[in-house]
Chain A
Amino acid sequence: MDGFIRAIDLKKVYYVGNQKIEAVRGVSLQVERGDFIVILGHSGSGKTTLISMIGGLTRPSSGNVFIEGINLWALGDKELSLFRNKKIGFIFQSFSLLPSLNVLNNVVVPAIFSKKAKKDRKALQSRAHSILSDLNMVDKMNSYPSELSGGEQRRVAIARALINDPDIILADEPTSELDIRTEYEVIEIFQNINEAYKKTIIVVSHTLSWAQKAKKVIVMKDGLIYDNIADPVETLMGGMSKRI
């Protein structure tokens, strides 16, 4: 087993008072370089927790995550932060931009923490400009998040995820609260990133729109994954609203 990303028997247990909650109950997953994987599941199925453990945001109760052979959870906090910064681009749900910064500065924020800002300030600005141009956001470069629509905010978040040229993009419900038209635009962008930028993408979502574009669909339910499935809707036993 020598995948680009390997999650081995990941478990995550929370305690709310005396109540034990098993958010993820022993998930193993292998992702190859260039994959575009969508993890579908209901709210509370454990998909956000899973992607957080894979991305080095939430420490698993047990199990390991290897990215390019590096055991993520064996790294110290500083090394893990720098690893995330360099290797992974995150796209979160709504309101993930920093309100005090304009679009351009929001996009370059990850580079601040990667020491690139000091070295290649001009190159960085130029790269941000280029990415924003690809996403048709150049004319909004000086706008602030509060002045953008939901779709525009997602595009800025996507640009931010790409600024450090990471190998992996992890997206958590990147189309939540968007209308169908904008949702499709965002999905198209992800597909383009996967093909044009050659990024490995893992998206978690509860909408089926993603299933058509992803190279691989995984269904998550009650903290477990269901891989290689013919019909995600069937697997989810009709519990998911099909929005297409």
Chain B
Amino acid sequence: MVTTLLRLAYQNLQVKQLRLYIILTGVSIVIGVLFVSSILIAGIYYSLERGLSKLGADLLVIPKESLVNLKSALLTGEPSTFYMESSVLEKIRSLKGVKKASPQLFLTSATGECCVIGNSFLIGFDPSTDFTIMPWVAKKMGDSFPDDGAIIGGMVPFNLGDRLHFFGVPLTVWGQLERTGIGLYDNAIFFHIKKGYEMSEKSQTDPSIPPLKPLKGKISSVLVQLSVGAKIPFITFSILRSHPELKVVTTGNIQTSVRHTTIAVFFGVIVLIVLLVLSNVLMINAIFSAVVNERKRELGIMRAIGATKNSIFKLIVYESTIVTLLSGLLGMIVGGILLKIFHRTIIFYLKLLNIPFMLPPVEIIAWLALLAITIAFIMGISGSTYPALVALRIDPHEAMKQGL
């Protein structure tokens, strides 16, 4: 009976086509906006998760005043420098519960002798203790990382084997990370930390090289991996007790903080979508109330010839749901096409807003499509429930007298 009722509902929809098109247009716009926005938001989150997971660290120890700079660096890859004494590293390593600790050294803007690289972020790391960069190298030359090697981020426009010069120090591109959407990684050039100190020294002695701060004995951050069972609050407390000038952040802290920024940006969009969904539900309600009112006699006849109240309810809800599901599909197709066309523009504007973005994987997009269709389905049901309940109250005898 369900199939036959669905067919009947579909045939009924074809009678008043203007109404059909009004609902199709309204709901497909809502679902299209919803689908595209959800892909954008998911893309941002995916990008953040993917990028921040590559920190690979449970804790990040940095100078106290540098947290804001770190967030900016994470999102935009804008060069951001802050330093602390390198002696901190050994103290952290000696703490019970710390499995690995590896230093990083951030240098100021990347001015190469061969060229000037706009926003590239120069980061020295220690390959012997590193656990955050090497595991994520997507392509590389050979197995061992040479002393003069450089690992470039996914968006740095160099090829493997290219020769670079920074602050008088030559480097060879040895590997490249996959793209993450996180500025810190995508725009960075990583090299041996001792090359960072060499750059600093050369800049002090060679007047043709832009000056860097004296960095001997300094590091920018310590990435910490904890032993199994070690408690983050306990380690944090231990570090801060001996070094109150430091700040200990977890990757969770950073993600939360960055998420708040993106939610603030997308809050307006989310509110707009909610309002659009509600207004469309009201529109469906109004249209189907009119439909029920116009078709009182017809529904009365159906009741008279044996339709139960349940069948009448289903018929009205099926009609509405068929339209909203079709609208949902249409909205997703149009939204998907627009997203494909304006993909680069969207990334450009998000970048202006310091928001990282990568298209999420197909399976996430498929889930979002399912969510959009489900919302379209719910809109259909919720929009027509009240008119369908009104239809149940139709008295067959009274309804048939209306046509006399």
Is the beta-carbon distance between A90 and B15 smaller than 8 angstroms? no
Interface segment among A63-71, A96-104, A191-199: the answer is A96-104
Is the beta-carbon distance between B404 and A93 smaller than 8 angstroms? yes
Decide yes or no whether A52 CB sits under 8 A from chain B. yes
- Chain A residues lying within 8 Å of B296, measured Cβ to Cβ, are none
Interface centre among A52, A78, A118, A164 (most CB of B within 10 A): A52
- Chain B residues lying within 8 Å of A84, measured Cβ to Cβ, are 304-306
Find A81's partner among B14, B298, B307 (CB 8 Å cutoff): B307
Q: Within the assembled complex, what's the spacing in Å between the Cα atoms of A239 and B401?
A: 23
Interface centre among B297, B298, B303, B397 (most CB of A within 10 A): B397
Q: Interface 1/0s, chain B 362-404, versus A by CB < 8 A?
A: 0000000000000000000000000000000001110011011
Is the beta-carbon distance between A95 and B308 smaller than 8 angstroms? no
Q: Given that A100-B12, A100-B14, A115-B1 are known contacts, is A57 also in contact with B306, CB under 8 Å in the complex?
A: no
Decide yes or no whether B4 CB sits under 8 A from chain A. yes
With A81-B303, A85-B305, A90-B305 given, name 18 new contacts (CB 8 A): A55-B304, A78-B309, A81-B308, A81-B309, A85-B307, A92-B400, A93-B403, A94-B403, A100-B14, A100-B15, A101-B11, A105-B8, A112-B1, A113-B302, A113-B307, A113-B308, A117-B1, A172-B400
Find A109's partner among B302, B308, B403 (CB 8 Å cutoff): B302
Q: Within the assembled complex, what's the spacing in Å between the Cα atoms of A160 and B305?
A: 9
Decide yes or no whether A148 CB sits under 8 A from chain B. no
Q: Is the interface of B mostly helix, strand, loop or mixed?
A: helix
Decide yes or no whether A42 CB sits under 8 A from chain B. no
Some 6 contacts from A to B, beta carbons below 8 A apart, are: A52-B396, A58-B395, A93-B400, A100-B12, A114-B306, A115-B1
Q: Interface 1/0s, chain B 285-320, versus A by CB < 8 A?
A: 000000000000110011111111111000000000
Decide yes or no whether B5 CB sits under 8 A from chain A. yes
Is the beta-carbon distance between A57 and B14 smaller than 8 angstroms? no
- Chain A residues lying within 8 Å of B5, measured Cβ to Cβ, are 112
Residue of B at shortest CB range from A53?
Answer: B397
Residue of A at shortest CB range from B303?
Answer: A81
Find A90's partner among B11, B14, B304, B310 (CB 8 Å cutoff): B304
- Chain B residues lying within 8 Å of A153, measured Cβ to Cβ, are none
Interface centre among B14, B303, B304, B401 (most CB of A within 10 A): B304
- Chain A residues lying within 8 Å of B4, measured Cβ to Cβ, are 112, 117-118
Q: Within the assembled complex, what's the spacing in Å between the Cα atoms of A49 and B12?
A: 30
Q: Given that A93-B403, A112-B1, A118-B1 are known contacts, is A57 also in contact with B8, CB under 8 Å in the complex?
A: no
- Chain B residues lying within 8 Å of A58, measured Cβ to Cβ, are 395-397
Q: Within the assembled complex, what's the spacing in Å between the Cα atoms of A100 and B233?
A: 69
Is the beta-carbon distance between A57 and B396 smaller than 8 angstroms? yes
Decide yes or no whether A207 CB sits under 8 A from chain B. no
Q: Within the assembled complex, what's the spacing in Å between the Cα atoms of A82 and B307?
A: 8
Decide yes or no whether A213 CB sits under 8 A from chain B. no
Is the beta-carbon distance between B401 and A57 smaller than 8 angstroms? no
Decide yes or no whether A140 CB sits under 8 A from chain B. no
Is the beta-carbon distance between B306 and A99 smaller than 8 angstroms? no
- Chain B residues lying within 8 Å of A77, measured Cβ to Cβ, are 308-309
- Chain A residues lying within 8 Å of B404, measured Cβ to Cβ, are 93
Q: Given that A78-B310, A93-B404, A115-B1 are known contacts, is A110 also in contact with B11, CB under 8 Å in the complex?
A: no
Q: Within the assembled complex, what's the spacing in Å between the Cα atoms of A80 and B94?
A: 84
How many Å from the CB of B397 to the closest CB on chain A?
Answer: 4
Decide yes or no whether A127 CB sits under 8 A from chain B. no
- Chain A residues lying within 8 Å of B395, measured Cβ to Cβ, are 57-58
Is the beta-carbon distance between A52 and B298 smaller than 8 angstroms? no
Q: Given that A96-B400, A100-B14 are known contacts, is A113 also in contact with B311, CB under 8 Å in the complex?
A: yes
Residue of B at shortest CB range from A48?
Answer: B401
Q: Within the assembled complex, what's the spacing in Å between the Cα atoms of A84 and B305?
A: 7
Find A95's partner among B12, B15, B297, B302 (CB 8 Å cutoff): B297
- Chain A residues lying within 8 Å of B403, measured Cβ to Cβ, are 93-96
- Chain A residues lying within 8 Å of B11, measured Cβ to Cβ, are 100-101, 105
- Chain A residues lying within 8 Å of B308, measured Cβ to Cβ, are 77-78, 81-82, 113
Q: Interface 1/0s, chain B 88-105, versus A by CB < 8 A?
A: 000000000000000000
How many Å from the CB of B118 to the closest CB on chain A?
Answer: 64
Decide yes or no whether A86 CB sits under 8 A from chain B. yes
CB-CB nearest 6 A-B residue pairs: A85-B306, A113-B306, A58-B397, A52-B397, A81-B308, A57-B397
Q: Within the assembled complex, what's the spacing in Å between the Cα atoms of A84 and B302?
A: 11
- Chain A residues lying within 8 Å of B1, measured Cβ to Cβ, are 112-113, 115, 117-118
